[in-house]
Structure 1
Amino acid sequence: MTRRILVVTHEGRPEAVQAADRVTAALREQGIEVVRDGTAEGCELIIVLGGDGTILRAAEDAREHDLPLLGVNLGRVGFLAEAESEALPDVVTRVVARDYTVEERMTLDVVVTAPDGTEQHGWAVNEAALEKGERARMVETTIGVDGRGLSSFGCDAIVLATATGSTAYAFSGGGPIVWPDVEALLLVPIAAHALFARPMVVGPHSALEVEVLPHGDIDAVLFCDGRRRIDVPPGSRITVRRGSHAVRLARLAEVPFSGRLVAKFDLPVQGWRGRPA
């Protein structure tokens, strides 16, 4: 049976298109059928050439078809990527040999219930971010866990994230970094006007809830991974639970997450165990 691989790239970046051309040619030389930015049906793997945004786009196909994806970073940080652009020849060699492992990452299932009881559904790898619909006003919210209210406040946004997303929007908002093998849900208020509006981490069997207070007159909007939008009118309730479908990431090396943090954020580690400054 002919092997088939989907190659996804950022078409707006010439270097990404050129990299995709090289990967495509190398795989075809090995007798592997390559699909470029098409359907993932019938494929064994998705190779993504770009930044985290491109990887999150490809994650939609990966989740739908239960396929692993392998990211090659051509962006800035590329936290979800497994390799940098200079490693492309090795990436091709390892893919041809099927020399990689697969790691599952927890996702979020999102339900937005409107005041009339209608529901909209979404999902996310990194986060579901509730944001105010009007720049000059705060969105008035109340938050809860497992059906119990915790606090009410106005804010610019609330980020509901996975451990994977803890290094993305939630991190920028002052949330904690959570190791990706920790199955947890994070809630991180952004610019909240309240005494108690600290980031929270709860277990994978809990449900995070955010209600947009009905006495407010500002619509809010919920963005899942910055890609999928759900409008949230006043009086709506957002419920976030552990996702029913994981996203699978192909890994080429067993690098500790601490090493990835140091490399991606260029963290100073001088002095660690006698390392010279």
Structure 2
Amino acid sequence: MTRRVLIVTHGGRPQAVAALSEALRELKAAGFEYTLHDDAVAEEFGDHMAAKRVAEGVHNAEVVMVLGGDGTILRAAELTRGTDVPLLGVNLGHVGFLAESEREDLRAAVQRLAARDYEVEERATVEVTVHLPGTAEPVVGWALNEATVEKATRDRMLEVAIGVDGRPLLSFGCDGVVMSTATGSTAHAFSGGGPVIWPDVDAVLMVPLSAHALFARPLVIGPRSRYTVDVLPQSTVEGVLTCDGRREIRLPRGSRVVVRQGGTVRLARLSTAPFADRLVSKFNLPVSGWRDRVGSAHAEAQDVRSDRTSDSNTGSNTPAET
């Protein structure tokens, strides 16, 4: 039986070109057939990738291998959403939270793939429904990381009203509002001051950005609840909705955005390490407190003083050279 891999990469980077050459060589040696994704389709709202999935045979692929950073993985998720095909990310970027392998481990990743030595993990997405004033049919989008409503221009605040499950909660002026999945809690929402949510938690997070309000704290709702964000008619600026930092749509005054938990995207996992270990590795977190570091530094200083004393004592018993 033929085993097939679809490859998505960031073709503009020399590092990606070199990684692609190695990946093709290793996949061929392991007996895989492969196809390169033609990324000529522009990102937009709606399921514009349906025809692309058929044309490129995504449903017949064992895995979609992604060579790049988190942005490239988010782009590849457009292809696999709604299918059973998992994404295997090889990090060529900076943090690479969604990636499973680093560039130097590419060969080992292909060997693990060939041996079917990997697990598949499902990550929840958010479904985004946009109701525009004067338009009968809503516009539907989605995001793996986050949907962000922000002001369209920099000079004024965006006035929004927030609701949960159809009930009004609060309104304020702000730079924007981020609504993220647990997966996206380490991305835009994290930089806005939101909490880190473990990937297996069924939740949707909301983080206000620079809100002019006394009660404007991050909120977390469950998988059966929904957020609404209304761009108020009295807002001095319009808004813009962006999904995963890629697909966007203008929000005139009077627009409403509804965000709830959606379907899943599947990720191929080579490591069974706990998520806490991934946090420590990706963010380079210090796992020892400052007292431990001070104690260690003090011990090192004591060792240096001891060595100097020993050298001094040795030197006093050694005849001087003539």
Establish whether TM, by shorter chain, passes 0.5: yes
TM-score w.r.t. structure 2 length? Answer: 0.82
Q: Secondary structure at the match of 1:142?
A: strand
Matched residue, 1:50: 68
Q: How do 1:100-179 residues align onto structure 2 when only pairs under 5 Å count? A: 100-116=118-134, 117-179=136-198
Q: Who wins on radius of gyration, i.e. which is larger?
A: 2
For the residue of structure 1 that corresponds to 2:81, the secondary structure is helix
Moved more, 152-161 or 28-37: 28-37
SS at match of 1:180: coil
> Structure 1: how far apart are the matches of 2:289 and 2:238?
50
Q: Confirm or deny: 8 A CA contact 1:205 1:242 kept in the other structure.
A: yes
The alpha carbon displacement at 1:50 in A equals: 0.6
2:82–2:265 CA contact under 8 A, matched in 1: no
State how 1:190-229 maps to structure 2 within 5 Å.
190-229=209-248
Rounded Cα–Cα distance in structure 2 between residues aligned with 1:163 and 1:180: 5
Name the amino acid aligned to 1:67. Answer: V
- 66-75 vs 34-43, greater mean Cα deviation: 34-43
The alignment's C-alpha RMSD in Å is 1.5
- Shift in Å, 1:175: 0.4
1:130 positional shift: 0.5
Report Cα offsets for 1:186-231 as digits up to 9, x if no partner.
0100000111110101111110111000122422110000111121
Aligned to 1:107, what secondary structure does the other structure show?
A: strand
Residue 98 of structure 1, CA deviation: 1.1
Local SS of the residue matching 1:210: strand
Match in the other structure for 1:255: 273
Q: Take 1:47 and 1:191, find their aligned partners in 2: how far apart are those partners? A: 38
Code of the residue aligned with 1:230 in structure 2: it is: I
| Aligned counterparts of 1:107 and 1:196: Cα–Cα separation in 2 | 27
Determine whether 1:33 maps to 2:47: no
SS in 2 for 1:254: coil
Aligned to 2:3: 3
- Name the % identity: 59
Could you say which residue in structure 1 is the equivalent of 2:42? none
Amino acid at match of 1:254: T
Local SS of the residue matching 1:57:
helix
Tell me the distance in 1 between the aligned counterparts of 2:82 and 2:202.
Answer: 21
Q: Which has the higher helix share?
A: 2
Q: TM-score, normalised by structure 1?
A: 0.96
- For 1:187, the equivalent position in structure 2 comes to 206
Alpha-carbon contact 2:158-2:236 (below 8 Å) kept? no
Distance in 1, matches of 2:116 and 2:249, equals 38
Matched to 1:134, the amino acid is: T
Aligned equivalents of 1:41, 1:246: Cα separation in 2: 16
Runs of at least 5 residues in structure 2 that lack an aligned partner in the other structure: 39-55, 297-322
**Uncovered stretches (5+) of structure 1, i.e. residues with no partner:** none
Higher alpha-carbon deviation: 259-268 or 34-43: 34-43
Q: 1:97 aligns with which of 96, 115, 119?
A: 115
| CA displacement 1:2-42 (0-9 Å, x = unmatched) | 11101111111111111111111111122211111242242
1:126-161 Cα shifts (integer Å, max 9, x gaps): 000001011111110000100111110010010000
Give the secondary-structure state (helix, strand or coil) at the position aligned to 1:65.
Answer: coil
Distance in structure 1 (CA, Å) of the matches to 2:220 and 2:181: 9
Aligned AA for 1:170? A
